[in-house]
Amino acid sequence: MDDTKPLINKAMPDDARGWAENQLCDGETVLFAVVGDLSLFEKYAASTLLITSRRAVIVDENHENGFFSAAFSDIEKVSVKRMYGNARMNFTMKSGEEVTVFRYTYAVADLCDVAAAFIEAVGRGEDQGAQMEIVASAYEKKMRVCPKCGRTLLRPGAECIKCQSKGKIVSKLLKYVKPQFPLLLTALLMSMASTALALLPPSLTQRLVDDVLPNGKMQSLVTIVLMLFGSYVIGTLLNGFRNFILRISGDRIVRYLRNDVYEKAQHLPMKFYDKTSTGSVINRISGDTNTLQAFMLRISQEIVVQAFMLVGIIIIMFIKDWKLSLLALCPVPLVVLGAKYFSRRIAPFYRRIWKRWAAVSSVLTDTIPCVRVVKSFAGEERAANKFKKYNDEWYKVDTSSAKITSTFPAVVSFVVTCGSLLIWGVGGSWVIKGTGGLTPGLLVAFLSYVSMFYGPVNFFAYLSDSYQGALASAERVLDILDAEPEPDFGKGNCPDKIEGKIEFRNVNFSFDRAKKTLSDINLTIEPGDIVGIVGTTGSGKSTLINLLMRFYDNYEGEILLDGQNIKDIDMAYYRSKIGYVQQEPMMFSDTIFNNIAYGVPDAHVEQVINAADVANAHDFIILQPDGYDSMLGERGVGLSGGERQRISIARAVLKNPSILVFDEATASVDSETENQIQEAIERLISGRTTLMIAHRLSTLRKANKIVVVDKGRIIECGTHDELMELKGKFYRLIQIQSMSEQVSKQKAEENFE
C-alpha cells in the first residue's frame, strides 16, 4: 500500500476532490474515501465519504453547503442501517443529535461498515495506525475482484479463472474431443469415402438412360447394376462401421465431460448451492452434456462431410452443365438469409425453454425425495398442480418455439422444391428442343445431384439451430466447470496432531449483504472443552458451525485451530478431523455398513462394528434381516429417526475425529431414544473438543462452557452455574423450557389418569 495516497474504491468525484484540495486544515490528510452512488434523497448520484486524520466528511449536494463534517471527538456513535437495496449511515453526536449523513447502495456497503468502525474506534482514542490496517485489509478484499468480470478472486491479484479460460466455447470443449481424434479421423475418412461413393450412382444412371437402355447393351446393364450394387454394399458397410465408431467416441466424450462436471459440482462452495437449485445442477449434468456431445460430433464430423459433399457436388454439377448449375444455386441465398433470421429468432427460445425445464426439474427433485412429507400433509394434489403449472409453462414456451422450428424447415423445403421445378422446367425444355447438348440421362443425373446438393445446404441452414441449443447448454455446463471451487489455500498442510483448540477472532459474516448473520464473534475453546451453543431459532448457531466446517469462507476475521488459521490447513484433512452429526442425518442409497464407513471407506469390518456399538446402533442393526447389508434409501427408509441418527453418530465415531460437532442431534427424537443417543454421544466425546448446538438445554448437562447466541452475537458465555447466576437470556431459556416441560408432564399425567 502506498502510504501517501488515500485508499479509495474508485475515481474521486470533482466536488469531493475540490473539498479535499481547499478545505483541509494544516497537517490534516485524507486517509481513505468511499465513493458512493446515491444521494441523500434517493437519486443515483456520486457522493463521497472522506475520512481524514481528524474528521469524517460527507460530500453530498443535499447537505448544507454541499458537505457535512464532524470531528471524531464530536461523534458519540456511528450506526449503519442496512435496508433493502440501500443503506444509510447515521452519526449520533455527543450533543445527542442524530443525523443521517450518508446514503449508498450495497456496492459500497462493506467499506462503509469498516469506515463506521474506524470512526468509532478512533473517536474512542484507539490507535489510528492499527485501525488503518483493518481499513486497508477491507480495501484489499474489495480489490479481490476481477476487474474484468467482477468475480471474487481466490486471493488479491490472482488470475480470474473465468477470464483466464475465456477463449471460445468450442476451444474449451475441444479438450474433450482431442483424445478421440484417432477414432474421429477414421470415421471422417470413412464418411468421405462413403460420400464419394454416393456421388457415383447418378453418373451411372446417366449412362443407363442415355446409352445402355436405348441401345440394348445387356452386358453393360449387368456391369452397371453390379457396380451400383457394389457401391451400395460398400457404402452401407462404411456407414455402419462409421456410426459404430462415432457412437463410441461420442460416449467417451460425454463420459469425460459428465465426470468433470460432477466432480466440479462436488467441489463447489455452499454459496453456489444456496443460489442454484439442485434440479438445475442435475439438469446440467444429465441433459446439457448430452446436447453438447451431439453438437461436438456434429462439428467434428458432419460439418466436414457435408462441406466435402457440397464442394464435390458443385464441381460435378459444373462439369456436367454449368448453366443448369447456376440455376440450381438460385435458391441458396434465400436459404442462407432465412437461416440467419431463424437463428436470431430461435436463440431466446432455447434459453427460455431451458429455464422452464429447470423449474420443472426443481419441482421433481424437491417433491419426489420428500414424498413422505407430501403425503403426510395431504399435498399430493398441490404437488401435482405445481408440477402441472411449471410443466404447462414449459409447454407454452416449447410450442411457441415449435412455430418457428416447424415453419422454417417447411419454407426451406418449399424453396428447394421450387429449385428442382426450375431445373425440370428449363432442363426439360432444353432436352425437348435439343439445345445445349442436354440429354434425358444427363437431366436425370443432374436432378439427382441437385437433390443431393440441397442436403448439405439444408444441413448448414439448420446448423445454427443446433448451434444455438448447444450454446445455451455449453453456457450452463461451463458455468459449473468455470465456477470457482472451494478455495484450498493450505493444500498439503496437514498438521501432525490436532489438539483441538478453536478460536474465533472478530468474525463477521453475512450470506447476502442485506443482513449480518454473525457479528463480532470472539470465542476461545480449549482442547477437550465441551461447549454448548444455545439460542433461539435463527440466532446464528448453525452459521457459526457452518463457518467452522468451512462451508463458507467469505467471512471477516479469523478462525484458528491450534493457533493456525483454518483457511491455511488442507481442507480435506481439516474436515476429516471433524465429526459432524446433523439434526436430519442423510443416508445414502447403500448398505448400513457402507453408510457407516462413508468417511473411512477402507475401514475394517470390526472397526465399523465397534463404531456402531459405541453409537448404540449395533443392537438394532443386528435385528435387521440383512444386518449390516441392509440397504438404506436416500433418507434411510425403514429406519426410525433415532436409528438413523445413531448410524450417523457411528459414522462420526469411525472417523476418530479430534473435534466433534453436534447440530441439534437429538432434536427430533423421543425422550427414550434421546437417552440412547445421549449415552452414545457421551462415550464419543470424552477427550475431544466438542461443540453441541442444542434446543433441549438438558442435553448440555455435560458442557463445561455454554455460549448464548442472539441475533448473530455472543451475548453470554460461561459455565451453567455462572449463566444461571447472571439471570440473563440463558436463565430465561431454562425457565421457559422447564415450565413447558412441567406443563407437558402434567398433561401426560392427566391423560394417564
Partner 1 sequence: MNDRLYINADEARITYRGFAHVDLEMYDGRRFEDLEPRRLFPLSGLTKYITLLDRDMKEVALIRDLAAILPESREAVEKCLDEYYMIPKITEILERKEKNGLLKYRVMTNYGERAFDVRNRHSDIKNLYDGRVLFRDSDDNRYEIPDVTKLDKKSWMKINIDL
Nearer to partner 1 by Cβ, of 280 and 678: the residue is 280
Closest approach, Cβ 743 to partner 1, in A, equals: 14
Residue 388 binds partner 1 (CB under 8 A) = no
Residue 752 binds partner 1 (CB under 8 A) = no
Residue 713 binds partner 1 (CB under 8 A) = no
Residue 167 binds partner 1 (CB under 8 A) = no
Q: What are residue 103's DSSP bridge partners?
A: 88
Amino acid letter, residue 576: S
Nearer to partner 1 by Cβ, of 44 and 322: the residue is 44
Residue from 482, 499, 526, 562 in contact with partner 1 (CB under 8 A): 482
> In sequence order, which residues have a C-beta less than 8 Å from that of residue 349 and are 6 or more positions away?
397, 400, 401, 404
Nearer to partner 1 by Cβ, of 90 and 564: the residue is 90
> In sequence order, which residues have a C-beta less than 8 Å from that of residue 97 and are 6 or more positions away?
none
Closest approach, Cβ 281 to partner 1, in A, equals: 11
Give the burial class of 22: count Cβ atoms within 10 A of its Cβ; 0-12 exposed, 13-18 middle, 19 or more buried.
exposed
CA distances from 145 to 140, 156, 159, 236, 573 (A): 9, 8, 10, 57, 28
Nearer to partner 1 by Cβ, of 277 and 624: the residue is 277
* Distance from C-alpha of 101 to C-alpha of 119, rounded to nearest angstrom: 13
- Candidates 7-15, 161-169, 232-240, 544-552; binding stretch for partner 1 (CB under 8 A): 161-169
Residue 352 binds partner 1 (CB under 8 A) = yes
Residue 37's φ and ψ, nearest 5 degrees, are -135, 10
Closest approach, Cβ 537 to partner 1, in A, equals: 15
Closest approach, Cβ 105 to partner 1, in A, equals: 5
Residue 476 binds partner 1 (CB under 8 A) = yes
Residue from 120, 366, 479, 499 in contact with partner 1 (CB under 8 A): 479
* Distance from C-alpha of 709 to C-alpha of 675, rounded to nearest angstrom: 26
Closest approach, Cβ 85 to partner 1, in A, equals: 4
* Distance from C-alpha of 703 to C-alpha of 720, rounded to nearest angstrom: 8
Nearer to partner 1 by Cβ, of 207 and 351: the residue is 351
Closest approach, Cβ 43 to partner 1, in A, equals: 5
Judged by DSSP in three states, 46 sits in strand
Residue 729 binds partner 1 (CB under 8 A) = no
CA triple 76-82-87, angle to 5 deg: 85
H or E, element range at 294: helix 289-297
Residue 737 binds partner 1 (CB under 8 A) = no
Nearer to partner 1 by Cβ, of 482 and 570: the residue is 482
Total residues interacting with partner 1, rule: CB under 8 A:
38
Residue 162 binds partner 1 (CB under 8 A) = yes
Nearer to partner 1 by Cβ, of 86 and 439: the residue is 86
Residue from 348, 436, 538, 687 in contact with partner 1 (CB under 8 A): 348
Nearer to partner 1 by Cβ, of 173 and 238: the residue is 173
Residue 366 binds partner 1 (CB under 8 A) = no
Judged by DSSP in three states, 216 sits in coil
Nearer to partner 1 by Cβ, of 272 and 489: the residue is 272
Angle between helices 181-198 and 218-266 (to 10 degrees): 150
Residue 124 binds partner 1 (CB under 8 A) = no
DSSP string, 581-634: E-SS----SSBHHHHHGGG-TT--HHHHHHHHHHTT-HHHHTTSTTGGG-B--T
Nearer to partner 1 by Cβ, of 17 and 88: the residue is 88
Decide if 155 contacts 489 (C-beta within 8 A). yes
Residue from 513, 567, 695, 702 in contact with partner 1 (CB under 8 A): 513
- Each residue 265-304 as x (binds partner 1 by CB under 8 A) or -, in order, gives ----------xx---x------------------------
Q: 660: phi > 0 → left, psi -120 to 50 → alpha, else beta; which?
A: beta
Half-sphere exposure (Cβ direction) of 689: Cα atoms closer than 13 Å: 17
- Candidates 147-155, 185-193, 285-293, 379-387; binding stretch for partner 1 (CB under 8 A): 147-155
- Each residue 562-601 as x (binds partner 1 by CB under 8 A) or -, in order, gives ----------------------------------------
Give the burial class of 659: count Cβ atoms within 10 A of its Cβ; 0-12 exposed, 13-18 middle, 19 or more buried.
buried
Q: Give the footprint of partner 1 on residues 55-114 (CB under 8 A).
A: 83-86, 88, 100, 105-107, 109
Closest approach, Cβ 607 to partner 1, in A, equals: 43
Nearer to partner 1 by Cβ, of 344 and 701: the residue is 344
What is the grid cell recorded at 123?
Answer: 473517536
Closest by CA position to 296, among listed 184, 409, 163:
184
DSSP string, 429-457: HHHHHTGGG--HHHHHHHHHHHHHHHHHH
Residue 501 binds partner 1 (CB under 8 A) = no
Residue 142 binds partner 1 (CB under 8 A) = no
* Distance from C-alpha of 404 to C-alpha of 400, rounded to nearest angstrom: 7
The three-state (H, E, C) secondary structure of 2-46, written as one string: CCCCCEECCCCCHHHHHHHHHCCCCCCCEEEEEEEEECCCCCEEE
DSSP string, 518-543: EEEEEEEE-TT-EEEEE-STTSSHHH
Residue 5 binds partner 1 (CB under 8 A) = no
CA triple 721-723-726, angle to 5 deg: 110
Residue 125 binds partner 1 (CB under 8 A) = no
Closest approach, Cβ 54 to partner 1, in A, equals: 27
Q: Which residue has the cell 473539498?
A: 19
Would you tell me which residues interact with partner 1 (CB under 8 A)? 38, 42-45, 83-86, 88, 100, 105-107, 109, 146, 148-151, 162-163, 166, 275-276, 280, 347-348, 351-352, 355, 358, 476, 479, 482, 512-514
